Amino acid sequence: MSNSKESNYDTQWPLWEVFTQPRDGKPHEHAGSLHAPDAEKALENARDVYARRKEAVNIWVVQTEDITASTPEDQGPFFDPANDKPYRYPKFYNPPRAVKKRS
Amino acid sequence: MDEQEKQQEFQEKIDSGITIEPKDWMPERYRSQLIRMMSQHAHSEVVGMLPEGNWITRAPSLRRKMILLSKVQDEAGHGLYLYSATETLGTTREKVIDDLLEGKAKYSSIFNYPTLTWADVMVIGWLVDGAAIINQTMLARSSYGPYSRAMVRICKEESFHKKQGYEMVATMAQGTPEQQEMVQDAVNRWWWPTMMMFGPHDDDSPNSAELIKWGVKSKTNDELRQSFVDRHVEEAKAVGIEIPDPELEFNEETGHYDFGEIDWDEFWNVVKGNGPMNRERMKAKREAHENGEWVREAAEEYARKQKLSKEKAS
Amino acid sequence: MSTKTKTLTKQEAFFEYLVRLADDRLILGHRLSEWCGHGPILEEDIALANVALDNIGHAASLYEYAAEVEGEDRHRDDIVYFRNDPEYKNLKMVELPKGDFGFTIARQFLFSAFSFFLYQGLAKADDEQFSGMAEKHLKEIKYHLRHSREWVLRLGDGTDESHQRMQDAFDGIWTFTGELFYMDEVDELLIDEGLGIDTSVFREDWKNLVTDVLEEATVTVPDFDQYMAEGGRKGLHTEHLGHLLAEMQHLRRSYPDAVWE
């Protein structure tokens, strides 16, 4: 056991990301991460770590290395173009006054 | 963009209150300072389980037993949140835990003091968690996103930790003569070590200015210590506990309590590993780690075999 | 004293039944709580603390109800802190030292599997408060069973070392499994009253569940018909319980007049 440091086995297990659904009907949101040897144990650990206070009605776990995220460099090309498309918002439109009053 | 421009842009982001996220560019020193600070914080939570856990099996009522067990369990959770947040900076939990077990990393010196009576555990809840809350409320506004988010979660969960301690301290302070003696004795032993938790004076704290510049911290050690004193002296008075500091006095001019000087020789001595419990704490953590090795190995081997047989089947 | 002592009343039997259930869970919870801060990995530290908390919580509500049934105005802590070991009626299995993680898991699995069947019955007991409690606790027991079962699989079918440790754990604890199904006049009376469960009814189901899991975990199933130790239900314990209670009770007993809530 003393030379364990040299073996490749001194593991803390792979990293997983945990998403919890706080209430029925709500979307899942990122709660945090944890270490687990496999999906079943990740789910159990997530329940014990991130739902000790009834914070969740449902849990997703996914191994961290399986997540593809946009990078800070993507920020401009990904998200800025949305700024100049005002027609995607209801306030862009002017319905006739009479109709507006009724709603 | 050259290094200097990046540095400048980074500082501008910090100054305008923009949160730094894991994949954003950051100065190497910001990264390394955060790894040091956050892993220390995580280690403190995990080592802190030991002095309190020392009394779980001896708790004097079932209610207190359940409270204490769930509190110490929370500390494990908080260590976990913080280790995870540290990992977003490009290190691994294996690495930072190795550093702890090999004595390369520090943790809060407060946990190198022994819990000799039940009252110690309750005074830890009141004073030590009280001090931690002051520190953590500040860190919840830290510039590094994962750190600040972990802190928000921790602060939310910890709100009961101090309260349960103060509640029992109050009960004991108004209890039998033996209980009163026990709780006052615990306060006498824990007050000064708790005061030391905020670290050296600002003049002797080399990291402070930098951490403030980077928005990791927003208050100095001495400022945090002062708010701890102001708050806890009042709480002590309310339940008839005496604070073991003859120089403690309310200063009308500043609106704060003046207090005596910390024994810095003791502080540095404990930091260097010579506190009453340094060796035992590390021994307990190393043993848990070594005794758990076969379990961690087995789970990983099982996962490997399962994956293999699934691949074969498909 | 003659062997023909006075007959047990329903009230006495019910009190005894509740205390036996509670003692099992308190003592097991105590052993589990010893892991806090010493688990094999942080995640598992949290998991074991949860199982410990559940068990102690179940015990707390059972003691509370026992005190109510007794009707002598005792607090649940009076039952917990001021009884000596012969008055404790837990199974011997739960008082054994925590051992290594493998032993803790083996015991948890066997006990949770038993509780899983027992509580399905208790959830239908002819007493609303009792059955409601059992129904609520059953949800947590199902989780304990899942958690421990998954570990038995991983450790039994993990490395050579873990396999051997699990085999040793099951071999070592096996002689204490017979007591799970111990029944005496307390049980008989309560079965007639619709409050207790005839555990022989689900003994085969329990054996099958245990056998399936152990076999899947590549652990050799020890002999169900070997000599089985008993005595816990009559207050005849192993030497371990005395130490456990000394630790658990000493502070409370040192200051019996103090308030510790």
pLDDT at residue A4, rounded to an integer: 41
Q: Which residue in C34, C159, C251 is closest to B301 by CB distance?
A: C159
pLDDT tops 50 at residue B230:
yes
pLDDT at residue B1, rounded to an integer: 75
Minimal CA–CA distance to C252: which of B282, B62, B184, B92?
B62
DSSP per residue over chain A, as a string?
A: -TTGGGSTT-----EEEEEEE-STTSPPEEEEEEE-SSHHHHHHHHHHHH-TTS--SEEEEEEGGG-----GGGHHHHHGGGGG-GGGSGGG----HHHHHH-
Give A46→chain B minimum CA distance, Å. Answer: 11
Q: Largest alpha-carbon pair distance within chain C?
A: 57
Determine, yes or no, domain membership for A92.
no
pLDDT at residue C19, rounded to an integer: 98
**Three-class SS string for C11-71?**
HHHHHHHHHHHHHHHHHHHHHHHCCCCCCCCHHHHHHHHHHHHHHHHHHHHHHHHHHHHHC
pLDDT at residue B66, rounded to an integer: 97
Asked if B62's CB is within 8 angstroms of C158's CB, the reply is: no
Q: How many domains does chain A have?
A: 1
Minimal CA–CA distance to C93: which of C76, C77, C109?
C109
Minimal CA–CA distance to B170: which of B126, B133, B130, B228?
B126
**Higher-pLDDT residue of B145, B314:** B145
State how far the Cα of B303 lies from the Cα of A42, in Å rounded to an integer: 12
H or E segment and range at residue C260: none
Which residues of chain C make contact with A49, given a CB cutoff of 8 A?
A: 43, 46
List the beta bridge partners of residue A34: A16
Domain boundaries along the sequence of chain C = 10-254
A27's torsion region: left (phi>0), alpha (psi -120 to 50) or beta? beta
Q: Return residues 283-302 of B near C (CB < 8 Å).
A: 284, 287-288, 291-299, 301-302
Which residues of chain B make contact with A4, given a CB cutoff of 8 A?
A: 290, 293
In this structure, how many other beta carbons lie within 10 angstroms of the beta carbon of residue A54? Answer: 8
pLDDT at residue B3, rounded to an integer: 87
CA A103 to chain centre: 36
List the beta bridge partners of residue B275: none
Residue A83's pLDDT band, with cuts at 50, 70 and 90, is confident
pLDDT at residue C33, rounded to an integer: 98
User: Using the 8-state DSSP alphabet, how is residue B144 labeled?
Assistant: B
User: Which tens digit of pLDDT belongs to each residue from B41-82?
Assistant: 999 999 999 999 999 999 999 999 999 999 999 999 999 999
User: Using the 8-state DSSP alphabet, how is residue B85 labeled?
Assistant: H
pLDDT, mean of residues A85-103: 77
List the beta bridge partners of residue A30: A19
Residue of B nearest to A8 (CA): B297
Judge whether B102 is closer than 8 Å to chain A, CB to CB: no
pLDDT at residue C2, rounded to an integer: 45
State how far the Cα of C190 lies from the Cα of C125, in Å rounded to an integer: 10
pLDDT tops 90 at residue B100:
yes
pLDDT, mean of residues C102-125: 98
Judge whether B309 is closer than 8 Å to chain C, CB to CB: no
pLDDT at residue B26, rounded to an integer: 96
Which residues of chain C make contact with B72, given a CB cutoff of 8 A?
A: 36-37, 49
pLDDT at residue B12, rounded to an integer: 95
Determine, yes or no, domain membership for A86.
no
User: Using the 8-state DSSP alphabet, how is residue B275 labeled?
Assistant: S
Give B221→chain C minimum CA distance, Å. Answer: 29
User: Which tens digit of pLDDT belongs to each residue from C14-54?
Assistant: 999 999 999 999 999 999 999 999 999 999 999 999 999 99
Which residues have CB under 8 Å from A81's CB, separation 6+? none
User: Which tens digit of pLDDT belongs to each residue from B238-283?
Assistant: 999 999 999 999 999 999 999 999 999 999 999 999 999 999 999 9
Asked if C41's CB is within 8 angstroms of B296's CB, the reply is: yes
> Which residue matches tokens 């997530």?
A46
pLDDT at residue C5, rounded to an integer: 58
Task: Name the amino acid, one letter, at A74.
Answer: D
Asked if B87's CB is within 8 angstroms of A9's CB, the reply is: no
pLDDT tops 90 at residue C190:
yes
Residue of B nearest to A51 (CA): B77
pLDDT tops 70 at residue C4:
no
Q: What is the ipTM of this complex?
A: 0.96
CATH code, domain with A9: 3.10.20.520
State how far the Cα of C235 lies from the Cα of C20, in Å rounded to an integer: 10
pLDDT at residue A76, rounded to an integer: 80
Judge whether B21 is closer than 8 Å to chain A, CB to CB: yes
* Cβ–Cβ under 8 Å, residues C158 and C93: no
Q: Which residue in B25, B81, B93 is closest to A32 by CB distance?
A: B81
* Cβ–Cβ under 8 Å, residues B107 and B43: yes
Give A4→chain C minimum CA distance, Å. Answer: 14
All chains having 3 or more CB pairs closer than 8 angstroms to chain C: A, B
Judge whether A15 is closer than 8 Å to chain B, CB to CB: yes
Determine, yes or no, domain membership for A95.
no
Minimal CA–CA distance to B168: which of C45, C57, C261, C130?
C261
Asked if A53's CB is within 8 angstroms of B93's CB, the reply is: no
pLDDT at residue C188, rounded to an integer: 96
Domain extent at residue A63? 4-68
Tell me, which fold does domain C10-254 have in CATH? Ferritin (1.20.1260)
Question: Quick one: what percent of chain B has pLDDT higher than 70?
Answer: 100
State how far the Cα of B278 lies from the Cα of B270, in Å rounded to an integer: 8
Q: Which residue in A12, A40, A48 is closest to C41 by CB distance?
A: A12
Residue A7's pLDDT band, with cuts at 50, 70 and 90, is very low
pLDDT, mean of residues A80-98: 81
Least confident range from A81-95, C79-93, C188-202, C225-239: namely: A81-95
pLDDT, mean of residues B102-107: 93
Which residues have CB under 8 Å from C160's CB, separation 6+? none
Determine, yes or no, domain membership for A17.
yes
pLDDT tops 50 at residue A3:
no
* Cβ–Cβ under 8 Å, residues A15 and A41: no
pLDDT tops 90 at residue B101:
yes
Which residues of chain A make contact with C50, given a CB cutoff of 8 A?
A: 48, 52
User: Which tens digit of pLDDT belongs to each residue from B143-201?
Assistant: 999 999 999 999 988 889 999 999 999 999 999 999 999 999 999 999 999 999 999 99
CA-to-CA separations, B90 to B35, B87, B122, C18, C190, in angstroms, rounded: 9, 6, 37, 53, 61
pLDDT tops 80 at residue C180:
yes
Q: Largest alpha-carbon pair distance within chain B?
A: 79
CA B135 to chain centre: 9
Residue A10's pLDDT band, with cuts at 50, 70 and 90, is low
